[in-house]
């Protein structure tokens, strides 16, 4: 819908809503006052209609549908391995919500200082430009993961993007195929 043109308000003694006492008794607004009042009424009606019109919700993207239906967890980290996002239906199995781990580091998540832990070393390799598969344990569950460099719109590496799937919950090929999906 094209925006309605904004009509300038003409200055008059008392403006478009001049009180009756500013006009001679019983005299209807005339000329500029009447036009200004009509413009004010039209703008008010348009504004009221805009406030009452429901905003349509966008249909979920393909990526959102995949995250809701595949038993995976997807997360991103920055260049110092601090989580910047996390999502996916696999979070339910870990009793986590979307983005609940944002702000933690991989070291915090795994409660370690050891950079040789397979998940952490895979992310370090991804920071160096590699795409790496790895296995990990979290919350007494075994997972298979795949991590890749995360790049911005100009192609500059800004962190990592990782997808993990619980072993035995689905075919690991699903995870490998999900790495081919374009993130929207």
pLDDT reading at 135 higher than 70: yes
Q: What is the band of 10 on the pLDDT scale with cuts at 50, 70, 90? A: very low
Output the domain CATH number for residue 92: 3.30.450.20
Whether residue 41 is found in the same domain as residue 77: no
- pTM for the full predicted model: 0.60
Do 95 and 140 lie in one domain? The reply is yes
Domains: count for the chain? 2
pLDDT band of 5, cuts 50, 70, 90: very low
Please, how many CA atoms are within 13 Å of residue 55, restricted to the half-sphere of its CB? 3
- Contacting residues for 106 by C-beta, under 8 A, at least 6 apart: 77, 81, 83, 119, 120, 123
Range of the domain at 17: 6-56
pLDDT of residue 171: 52
- Please determine, for residue 92, whether its predicted confidence score (pLDDT) is greater than 50: yes
Task: Give the 3-state secondary structure of residue 132.
Answer: strand
């Amino acid at each position: 819908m094209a925006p309605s043109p904004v009509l300038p308000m003409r200055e008059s003694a008392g403006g478009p809503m001049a009180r009756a006492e500013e006009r001679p008794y019983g005299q209807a607004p005339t000329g500029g006052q009447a036009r200004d009042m009509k413009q004010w009424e039209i703008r008010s009606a348009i504004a009221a209609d805009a406030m009452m019109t429901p905003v349509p919700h966008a249909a979920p993207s393909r990526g959102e549908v995949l995250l809701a239906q595949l038993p995976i967890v997807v997360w991103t980290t920055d260049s110092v391995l601090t989580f910047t996002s996390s999502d996916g239906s696999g979070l339910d199995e870990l009793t986590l919500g979307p983005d609940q781990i944002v702000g933690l580091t991989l070291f915090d998540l795994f409660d370690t200082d050891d950079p040789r832990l397979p998940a952490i070393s895979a992310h370090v390799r991804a920071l160096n430009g590699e795409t790496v598969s790895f296995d990990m344990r979290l919350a007494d569950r075994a997972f298979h993961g795949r991590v890749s460099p995360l790049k911005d719109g100009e192609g500059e590496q800004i962190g990592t993007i990782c997808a993990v799937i619980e072993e035995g919950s689905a075919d690991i090929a699903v995870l490998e195929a999900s790495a081919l999906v374009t993130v929207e």
